[in-house]
Structure 1
Amino acid sequence: MSESEQHVPLTPRQVPFTEAAGAVRAFTDVMLTRRSVRDFSPEPIPDEVIETAIQAAATAPSGANVQPWRFVVITDPERKRRLRLAAEAEEREFYGRRASEEWLHALEPFGTTWRKPFLETAPAVIVVFEVHQGPHSPKPYYVKESVGIAVGLLIAALHHAGLATLPHTPSPMRFLNEVCDRPREERAYVVMPVGYPAPDAHVPAITRKPLDDVIIRH
């Protein structure tokens, strides 16, 4: 197959030069309101919203276009409970034995503990898996980078829909293969409860670094 047969014409999103700054400002203003939330309402969320957000996440670039991701959506109460119990078992070990004093000190301002009730309270939990080479999957390239970009798009899409998220990474996460009925070649990347914030939800008082602290111009 020739190079010309492997490519198709690009149909770019066209934003007039004079409107580009306003377009990215509008996106940024929405994202500046995003916070990781631990207090969820049990109010149901539409399946279509979750599915469309995952569709957005799956537009992420990936090494060799292998698209090495799997999004497992859990809404069944019993399976969410299994997930919570297994995650809390690992978190007890983390807070009680694995974490260094320095790490625990860094977490103190956020008031986190091994208890993870949000894994049951949130109406949906999305577990994102990296898909590695296996009987039904090809070898991926830059898998963590690819999946990380997809998760970022997922968080942004869900936030635009008015939903709260919490990227949660109990460690180790191998128990998630059993909870989610996934094969060994899939490895959990992040657990993300999704839902509307509880009416009385609170978040830690944090600030973002100024732009001049994170951008370098040459």
Structure 2
Amino acid sequence: MAAPDHILLNGYKHVLYTTKSLSQDKSIQNSKTFHEWLDKRRSVREFSDQDVPKEIIDNLILSASTAPSGAHKQPWTFCAVSNPALKTKIRQAAEAEEKESYEHRMSERWKKDLEPLGTDMHKPFLEIAPWLIIAFKKVYEFDENGEKHNNYYVNESIGIACGMLISAIHNAGLVTLTHTPSPMNFLTKILDRPSNERAFLLLPIGYPKSPAYVPDIHRKGLDEIAVYYD
């Protein structure tokens, strides 16, 4: 007998989960192919100003929002910015924070560790990339009566969503990098976000400049990142 298409659990509707069944060999091949594809993803700082259709940005944000979240509260807002004047304001404010960080906040060891990546306080990609997506975490919500309610596992939830967003960007043939000027309060002010939102991550999005160069770095091997308990 076929399983029902839904059941009630604690009075709430649960729908039947369906997925395409794969053989073990196919699962192994898919996992290998996916890793090889994802391993080609790189953080890129040299952007083309080539236009990226808004429909792609819509789909990227929708993909990010499929992420799991604490109690399914989906505690995030993704602000997509293409307006040149706003991008200029963001760059100016970000570079002011970066200047302060490089000159006063960051240790010499930290700056030394960044040298192979070629980063500095100048962030032209914030104006050149056709889109910026700023991920805001929603620390709390207001119900219909105006009562404040905290969300759950907010950092974990939005962190997962941003990881899925970065993968979606790679899948669309675009590039990005994770930019976290600290503190990021200026983004809340520039984008006029409500008091329950905190800027979490800034992602410039676009096509890579031709040619574009990235640092010759290598990822840790499996034996360095995994521990198995058989």
Using structure 1 for the length normalisation, give the TM-score: 0.95
| 2:38 is equivalent to residue 27 of structure 1 | no
3-state SS, counterpart of residue 70 of structure 1 = strand
Task: Tell me the amino acid that sits aligned with residue 198 of structure 1.
Answer: K
Match for residue 114 of structure 2? 107
Aligned partners of 2:91, 2:14: CA distance in 1, in Å? 46
* Count of paired positions: 218
* Alpha-carbon distance, 1:47 to partner: 1.3
Match for residue 180 of structure 2? 169
Moved more, 61-70 or 19-28: 19-28
- Pick aligned residue for 1:83 from 75, 78, 90: 90
Match for residue 10 of structure 1? 17
3-state SS, counterpart of residue 195 of structure 2 = coil
Structure 2, gaps ≥5 residues long: 1-7
| 2:154 is equivalent to residue 143 of structure 1 | yes
Match for residue 182 of structure 1? 193
* Alpha-carbon distance, 1:2 to partner: 4.9
Moved more, 11-20 or 55-64: 11-20
* Alpha-carbon distance, 1:13 to partner: 4.1
Task: Tell me the amino acid that sits aligned with residue 61 of structure 2.
Answer: I
Match for residue 156 of structure 1? 167
- Pick aligned residue for 1:131 from 138, 142, 162: 138
Match for residue 95 of structure 1? 102
- Pick aligned residue for 1:42 from 30, 46, 49: 49
Structure 1 vs Structure 2 CA RMSD: 1.5
Question: Is this contact kept in 1: 2:141–2:151, CA < 8 A?
Answer: no
Indicate how the Cα distance of structure 1 residues 15 and 181 shifts in structure 2: closer, same or farther if over 3 A, else same.
farther
Indicate how the Cα distance of structure 1 residues 67 and 134 shifts in structure 2: closer, same or farther if over 3 A, else same.
closer
Task: Tell me the amino acid that sits aligned with residue 55 of structure 1.
Answer: L
Task: Tell me the amino acid that sits aligned with residue 18 of structure 1.
Answer: D
- Pick aligned residue for 1:65 from 72, 85, 88: 72
Task: Tell me the amino acid that sits aligned with residue 139 of structure 1.
Answer: N
Question: Is this contact kept in 2: 1:66–1:138, CA < 8 A?
Answer: no
Which structure has the bigger radius of gyration? 2
Aligned partners of 1:162, 1:92: CA distance in 2, in Å? 32
* Alpha-carbon distance, 1:135 to partner: 3.5
3-state SS, counterpart of residue 64 of structure 1 = helix
* Alpha-carbon distance, 1:200 to partner: 1.7
* Alpha-carbon distance, 1:125 to partner: 0.4
* Alpha-carbon distance, 1:134 to partner: 4.1
* Alpha-carbon distance, 1:101 to partner: 1.2
Using structure 2 for the length normalisation, give the TM-score: 0.90
Specify which structure has the higher proportion of strand.
2
Indicate how the Cα distance of structure 1 residues 47 and 120 shifts in structure 2: closer, same or farther if over 3 A, else same.
same
